[in-house]
Structure formats: C-alpha cells, structure tokens
Chain A
Amino acid sequence: MSDNNPLRDPFDAIADPTRRKLIRILAEPREIPLHELTSQFDMGRTAVSKHLAILKEAGLVLDRKVGRETRFRLNAAPLREVHDWLSFYQKFWTMNMITLGQLLEEEEEQ
C-alpha cells in the first residue's frame, strides 16, 4: 500500500493500454515535456493530458511546471502494490509449504 494515499487505485490506472504506454515512455530517467509525450500518440494533447491526470491521481506520475511547459516523470512506488498482487500466490504457497514442513516434522516425532 502506498503511504501518500493516492486518489486512484493503481490497478485502474494501468488497466488502459494508452496509460501503460505512457508509463513505459516515462520510465526513462528524465523529465519529459507534454508535447514530447503527445507526439508518440495518435490522439490529441487533451486526450493525452486526461490519461496523465489519471496516472497522477494514482500517484504514478509526478509533474512540474518549467516556464510555460509541464514536465512529467514516473513515480514507480505505487506499482509495488500491483507487484504484491502478482506475488500473492508465491507468498501463500511459501507460507503453506513451511507449515507443511513443520507438520511433517511433528509426524516424525510421534
């Protein structure tokens, strides 16, 4: 879970292919201005801005005004929650397998 309590669930935020593409582009370790992001999509500036706003609400994107342009960068921290969902089964079975080990040891002692 994220500490800064985002307005939007990161699961919803990454459900859309345009937003996933935006995150991939923003994964570069630099700030990217809006026009540079917009140029990579077959949609207008307003549509891209709306997707960026959703990512921002989920805490996945940070923005900063520099002069007349807004620059964006990725904040990957909330993605850990998504990653946790994927590793849920791994944790579940690892815990269970440890319990099984204890169970087998107990049987041995009886």
Chain B
Amino acid sequence: MSLTLTLDFQYKTTIEKLWSALTDSSKLAKWVLANDFIPEVGHQFQFRAEPNQYWDGIINCEVLVVDEAQRVLSYTSSVGPEKHTVTWSIQDLGEGQVNLHLEQSGISNEQALNGAKWGVTQWCGELAKLLEQ
C-alpha cells in the first residue's frame, strides 16, 4: 500500500527557467529547502529543514532521473523509515504558460514502518469518507 500525491501548477515563465529552478541548488534553496543537490543520477544529497523535538530536519535523497530533453527530474526522499519518490515534469502549455507537475509516491516498507503510521496510510481511504460526513 502506498499513496501518491500529485500537484500541478502553471507558471508564466519558460521551460528553461523552470528547469533551472528545479535543478540549481541555490534556486532550490529559495523555494524548497537548503540542500546540496547536483543534477547527477546517483548523487546523494539532503534537504535540511529547521530541526524540532521530533525530527532532526534532514530529508535524505538520491537522484534517480535527470532527463533534460524530456524535462523530467526524479529523486528519492527519505525521512526515517518513510521513503518516497519525488518526480517533477515540465510541459509547455503555449502562450508563455508552463505546467509544473509533481508526483510524490510513497514506497512503504510494511515492516519498517511503525504501527501507527502504517495504520494511518492503510486507512486513509476510509478516513476521507468519514470526514465527509
């Protein structure tokens, strides 16, 4: 069982600028988090958030896909036992509009996850129905 989050945003920009925002470490730091990203397959890097009492703030990542021609970027994103895959793709909509598509899929290792979180992910479908009541 895993969940996938997808989001689409449209920007008035160029494909090149959006690609740069995704793949340039200093630009990424401005809209995501501080990082040591390099657009090279196999490169391991971290996003660093402010630590709090429950979490050291570190997201461990590894670059999976850097396809500049197709404008697809993908990396793993792990916090504790939770390992997700984040995939970005860019599409030209014409008239100066560019679509940024995000897909974050969760590869949940049933045994590695603690009971509570596993219970939550298994249950989310039914939960959504309950909340609609």
Contacts and interface: CB of A to CB of B under 8 A. Distances in A.
A11 B116 contact: yes
A104 B11 CA distance: 8
A93 B26 CA distance: 18
A103 interface: yes
Chain B contact residues: helix, strand, loop or mixed: helix
B1 interface: no
B116 A101 contact: no
B131 to A, nearest CB: 6
B100 A11 contact: no
Categorize the interface residue count of chain A: 20 to 34
Contacts of B130: 23, 27, 74, 76, 79
A41 interface: no
Nearest to B18: A104
Nearest to A99: B31
B127 A83 contact: yes
B17 A107 contact: yes
A7 to B, nearest CB: 16
Contacts of B117: 11
B112 interface: no
B22 to A, nearest CB: 9
Interface in B72-105: 100, 102, 104
A9 to B, nearest CB: 8
B31 A11 contact: no
B69 interface: no
Given A90-B7, A103-B31, A15 B131 contact: no
Interface in A1-48: 9, 11-12, 14-16, 20, 23-24, 27, 29
A108 interface: yes
A93 B21 contact: no
B109 interface: no
Interface stretch (B35-43, B60-68, B118-126): B118-126
A66 interface: no
Given A80-B131, A89-B5, A94-B7, A15 B115 contact: yes
Interface of B: 3, 5, 7, 9, 11-13, 17-18, 21, 27, 30-32, 100, 102, 104, 115-124, 126-128, 130-131, 133
